[in-house]
Amino acid sequence: MIFHVTDGTDPRLDPFRWRDRQLASKLERLDAVGAGLFVAEGDLVVERAIELHFEAVALLCDEPTGIRLAEVVDESVQVFIGSEQLRGDVTGLGVPLRATGLFRRPALASAHDVLAHATRVVVAEEIDNPTNLGAIVRSAVALGWDAIVLSTGSADPLARRALRVSMGSGLSVPFVRLGQNDNIGQLLQQHNFVSYAMTPNASATSLSSVTVTSDQKTALLLGSERDGLQQSSMNSATHIVRIPMHGGIDSLNVGAAAAIAMHALGPDSLS
């Protein structure tokens, strides 16, 4: 259903202004049934969400995009069409995106279900920067990894910034969030993963000397840029690995390091 809007203060547009905590509470982000909302920013991300059958609630678009998308979403979806100025003001980005979409959040799968079916998983431990997480998710999809496992303190792949940075990749890769009492080392061992914990420590094995076999299940463990992985995660890992540094630099941004490690351990590296 298409609506032309000229007033940026129209209350029907309020959800497009909301920040992540307004869109979904912490409990809703952990919901196993599906609750709360997320925002997809940009026509490519909105179209990806629609193609992947996420439930659209409302869209804010320019006229050509709005008319086109109104034909592929349920007729109950409100499609608002507004000027460049209005769209830029409402979203708060200042940039008049062709489309911004409001969608219902999907239910979260259990860690056991995801690990039972995945071959390559990325574990993000306390990676609380949504920009870094978005970059990691985009690399995971591009480089052939199957799932993302998040600690309780990691950012949300469906957060506005994370989803924008990942170019919507967070919509196409399953992710799970561990509970306070879940032990990632035990879970990976239970599901027969060979795990690789990343560290800048010079005593770790260089990624260039690691061999991945075609029949193994592989997990890559990444920690926060401040503190790295917890010692318990390091102790439980099958291998401790690093990317050798030069030029007096001790480490890379975790997003860049993740991409290198995923390429080195991913499907293109199989022996």
d(CA 111, CA 116): 8
Indicate whether 79 and 59 sit together in one domain: yes
Q: How confident is the model at residue 34 (pLDDT cuts 50, 70, 90)?
A: low
pLDDT for residue 28: 72
* pLDDT tens, residue by residue, 211-230: 999 889 999 999 998 889 99
Indicate whether 20 and 142 sit together in one domain: no
Indicate whether 129 and 150 sit together in one domain: yes
Indicate whether 98 and 166 sit together in one domain: no
Q: How confident is the model at residue 32 (pLDDT cuts 50, 70, 90)?
A: low
Answer yes or no: is pLDDT of 249 > 80.
yes
Tell me which amino acid residue 155 is.
A
CA 85 to mean position of chain CA atoms: 29
pLDDT for residue 250: 86
Indicate whether 61 and 182 sit together in one domain: no
Answer yes or no: is pLDDT of 237 > 60.
yes
d(CA 53, CA 70): 14
**Host domain of residue 29:** 2-104
**Which of 5, 10, 17 is CA-nearest to residue 66?**
5
Answer yes or no: is pLDDT of 184 > 70.
yes
Burial of 57 (0-12, 13-18, 19+ CB in 10 A): middle
Cβ of 200: how many Cβ atoms within 10 Å? 15
Q: Would you state the structure tokens that stand for residue 263, as one six-digit string?
A: 């390429």
* pLDDT tens, residue by residue, 38-90: 999 999 999 999 999 999 999 999 999 999 999 999 999 999 999 999 999 99
Indicate whether 79 and 161 sit together in one domain: no
> Where is the domain boundary, 80, 104, 128?
104
Indicate whether 97 and 129 sit together in one domain: no
> Where is the domain boundary, 84, 104, 124?
104
Indicate whether 63 and 161 sit together in one domain: no
d(CA 178, CA 231): 17
Indicate whether 221 and 121 sit together in one domain: yes
Indicate whether 69 and 159 sit together in one domain: no
Q: How confident is the model at residue 108 (pLDDT cuts 50, 70, 90)?
A: confident
Indicate whether 124 and 179 sit together in one domain: yes
CA angle 160, 166, 171 (to 5 degrees): 80
Q: Residue 245 maps to which CATH number?
A: 3.40.1280.10
Q: What single-letter DSSP state applies at residue 269?
A: G
Q: For the chain, how many structural domains are there in total?
A: 2
The answer to whether residues 171 and 163 touch, using CB atoms and an 8 Å cutoff, is yes
Indicate whether 167 and 255 sit together in one domain: yes
> Where is the domain boundary, 47, 81, 104?
104
